[in-house]
Homo-oligomer: A and B are copies of this chain.
Amino acid sequence: MTDLSGLFDPDRIAVIGATDREGSVGRALLENLATFDGEIVPVNPNRETVLDADCYPSIEAAPNPTAIDLAVVAVPATVAVDVVRQVGEQGIKNVVVITAGFSETDAEGRRRERELAAVAAEYDLDLVGPNSVGVISTATGLNGTFLEGRPPEGSLSLLSQSGAFIAAVIGWATQHNIGFNDVVSLGNETVLDEVDFLYEWDDDPGTDVILAYVEDIDEGRAFIETARDVTASTPVVVIKSGRTEAGAAAAKSHTGSMAGSDDAYDAAFEQAGVIRAEDIQDVFDFGQVLAGQPRPDGDNVAVVTNGGGPGVLTTDAVGDSSLDLAEFGVETRTALDELLPAAADSTNPLDIIGDADLARFEAALDTVLADKGVDGAVVLSVPTALYEFAALAETIGDLQAEHGTPVVACLMGGEPADRAADTLAQYGIPNYFDPSRAVASLETLADYGAVLDRAYEPPAEFEVDRKRASEILAQTDDRDVDYLGVEAMALLDAYGIPTPPGELVESPEAAAAVAERIGGPVVMKIASPEIVHKSDIGGVEVGVPTDAVADTYRTILDRARSHAPETSLLGVRVEGLVDPAESTETIIGAKRDPQFGHLLMFGLGGIFVQIYEDTAFRIAPVSEHEARAMTDEIRAAPMLRGTRGRTPADIDRIVETIQRVSQLLTDFPAITELDINPLVVSPEGVSAIDVRVRVDTADLSPPD
């Protein structure tokens, strides 16, 4: 991996395009860099000095140019590529191109960006931008942006595909005392992108949590693999915009890039251990709590409050979350009964009631945090005449440090609460007015704890008949359409996915023979890649007795011809009737995503997918663990696991089938769509009843 520390920790910085013209980017840069620890070297061919400092006409004219660590480029677009070349010629590796007017504009801009990429490649530059608002490193006082204000020092590092996002956040972060380590505006990502900074910051002791605003991720697979590595030691919180259809359209018009489907992003983030935030507030709430509080050992939280109402609201938020309300142990309850007044219950949520003084609060919280069954706590207080929030904040901080259990606070009120929040922040404890945010933060700690508990497990490799699969897929090569219909049943068979016994035949006699061999009654289905809804045209007959098979063959073919005379008919598939007791119809589907590769889907059939969207997604290849998680996370999972006396379905075989499909997709990137619908699952196993495959024939490699 490239070492990018020169971007954030340089000794000497050249500002190319330095100027003292009011309102210019070059001047704003210089002013922001005034706080930088090291040396600033202004470069501008039209000035001898800027802001009373010597200015050099070019980078090579600067003193000792090869010893410059970072060049920030803010020159007109027309000369930017030349300037970057000059930087490269001096052996300077780190470049931030603020200049806009590249691929975000027009054809001329796209051409210019290709030139920039070539120059960067030639000199092996670590280049941020172009069209970046710059980089910030609070530790070195480096504010290489033209934005107003600078964020406070801290341990969050932020990357953003939107400069406006950074502009919006800085002032607000300052006001809310949200501290940053490094910040980078990625701009057009000609060279460096989100993946590079994930690695950089994972290794950076100054960064506790990585935050990211992204609109699209070009290198989906690289992102998943990098992020999976990184999140094993450093939490990553991402806000991905363009979630909704409207948002995706807006993002496309904004960045010109076509983002993959949001289901793919969701799956990728899940598989990579990335925590996804839905709104801006959450990004920073989650970042702060992950930076400040330890991982909980479990999901059981305590609520300690001096006000009943807010305690109930907090309990509701716990009920809405994946967390549970801890049940206090007997010892805890006995101790609480002793220290609380008679009117207070020693149950969770623990309302120590409005007349609590600081001593009671401290004793109660101490007791609760000592309970081994308490994995985290929300501490609430409404204002009271009996103690100052500032004192309570110290008590909470000390007790958290003593017990090591994660704690978040809701000291609810105005200015005094804000002052107490500053105290709590020194202990790494976030404070919220709204209990729902406090609970969401604790939930995020638990979510990240679950990420840390994961062990990465490579996908299994099954023995399959890859050659046969390759031949079947090649059939599409000389066809008008790129679909395979029931003739793809053999493809599943080649990958060890159970299908009913059967065969594709091309004559009534052959059909009868197959039926005889299988034993009737049988199912007969027209085989034509152009007939998508076979049943709608009478192309499927179920339960055909052996002696009617030949006639039925003719009938089905006649129907198909009268429905679509032009259609290429491959014959009829004759197969055994699958109708096990207690069966359920499921679907395994896949679609090739432009960013992430194959997106696998598992769910129940029909209305469950269409109306209830009860589906689970993963990016292929999937491990056994991931395949199993897909069967667990659909809402209908209890149905598969057996409810009200039903025998459970053979989940192991479903899990294996998902993995085999995953292997098929990975082996054949040319597959753009695949639908096994239905996959009938029962206590006896699984059986793929119908399949449809779409292939990008241009991508097909010749059979091995």
> A interface vs B, CB < 8 Å?
23, 28, 104-105, 147-149, 160-165, 167-175, 213, 215, 239, 241-247, 249-251, 253-255, 278-281, 305-313, 315-320, 325, 343, 345, 347, 349, 351, 354, 382-385, 412-418, 433-436, 607, 610-612, 614, 635-636, 638-639, 643
Closest to A384 in B: B167
Task: Find out whether the CB atom of A163 lies under 8 angstroms from the CB atom of B215.
Answer: no
Q: Which of B171, B307, B610, B638 contacts A413 (CB 8 A)?
A: B171
In the complex where A172-B412, A307-B164, A611-B639 touch, is A320 in contact with B250 (Cβ < 8 A)?
no
Q: Which chain B positions have C-beta within 8 A of A28?
A: 385
**Bound-state Cα–Cα, A454 to B251, Å:** 37
Closest to A410 in B: B168
Closest 9 CB pairs of A and B: A162-B309, A244-B319, A164-B307, A171-B414, A247-B316, A168-B412, A171-B413, A175-B414, A254-B308
Q: Which chain B positions have C-beta within 8 A of A249?
A: 315
In the complex where A241-B316, A253-B345, A278-B436 touch, is A413 in contact with B636 (Cβ < 8 A)?
no
**Bound-state Cα–Cα, A384 to B436, Å:** 33
Q: Which chain B positions have C-beta within 8 A of A313?
A: 239, 241, 247, 279-280
**Bound-state Cα–Cα, A168 to B278, Å:** 27
- Chain B's nearest CB lies how many Å from the CB of A277? 11
Task: Find out whether the CB atom of B417 lies under 8 angstroms from the CB atom of A172.
Answer: yes
Q: Which of B160, B170, B307 contacts A309 (CB 8 A)?
A: B160
20 pairs from A and B in contact (CB 8 Å cutoff) = A104-B343, A105-B343, A163-B309, A163-B354, A164-B305, A164-B308, A164-B309, A164-B354, A165-B307, A165-B382, A167-B307, A168-B307, A168-B382, A171-B415, A213-B309, A242-B316, A243-B316, A247-B319, A280-B435, A607-B639
**Most central of A172, A247, A433 by chain B CB within 10 Å:** A247
Q: Which chain B positions have C-beta within 8 A of A412?
A: 168-169, 172
Q: Which chain B positions have C-beta within 8 A of A247?
A: 312-313, 315-316, 318-319
Extra 5 A-B pairs, beta carbons < 8 Å, given A164-B309, A165-B307, A243-B320: A162-B309, A241-B312, A241-B313, A245-B319, A280-B433
Task: Find out whether the CB atom of B312 lies under 8 angstroms from the CB atom of A149.
Answer: no
**Bound-state Cα–Cα, A50 to B247, Å:** 64
Task: Find out whether the CB atom of A172 lies under 8 angstroms from the CB atom of B413.
Answer: yes
- Chain B's nearest CB lies how many Å from the CB of A106? 8
Task: Find out whether the CB atom of A255 lies under 8 angstroms from the CB atom of B308.
Answer: yes
- Chain B's nearest CB lies how many Å from the CB of A135? 17
**Bound-state Cα–Cα, A662 to B10, Å:** 76
Task: Find out whether the CB atom of A246 lies under 8 angstroms from the CB atom of B280.
Answer: no
Task: Find out whether the CB atom of B607 lies under 8 angstroms from the CB atom of A351.
Answer: no
**Most central of A169, A310, A315 by chain B CB within 10 Å:** A315
**Bound-state Cα–Cα, A350 to B279, Å:** 20
Q: Which of B174, B279, B347, B385 contacts A253 (CB 8 A)?
A: B347
- Chain B's nearest CB lies how many Å from the CB of A243? 5
Task: Find out whether the CB atom of B639 lies under 8 angstroms from the CB atom of A383.
Answer: no
Q: Which chain B positions have C-beta within 8 A of A163?
A: 307, 309, 354
Q: Which chain B positions have C-beta within 8 A of A311?
A: 250, 254
- Chain B's nearest CB lies how many Å from the CB of A187? 12
Q: Which of B215, B244, B306, B315 contacts A164 (CB 8 A)?
A: B306
**Bound-state Cα–Cα, A578 to B148, Å:** 74
Q: Which chain B positions have C-beta within 8 A of A255?
A: 308
In the complex where A239-B313, A313-B239 touch, is A246 in contact with B318 (Cβ < 8 A)?
yes
- Chain B's nearest CB lies how many Å from the CB of A168? 4
Q: Which of B171, B244, B254, B607 contacts A417 (CB 8 A)?
A: B171
Q: Which chain B positions have C-beta within 8 A of A246?
A: 315-316, 318-319, 325
**Bound-state Cα–Cα, A345 to B253, Å:** 8
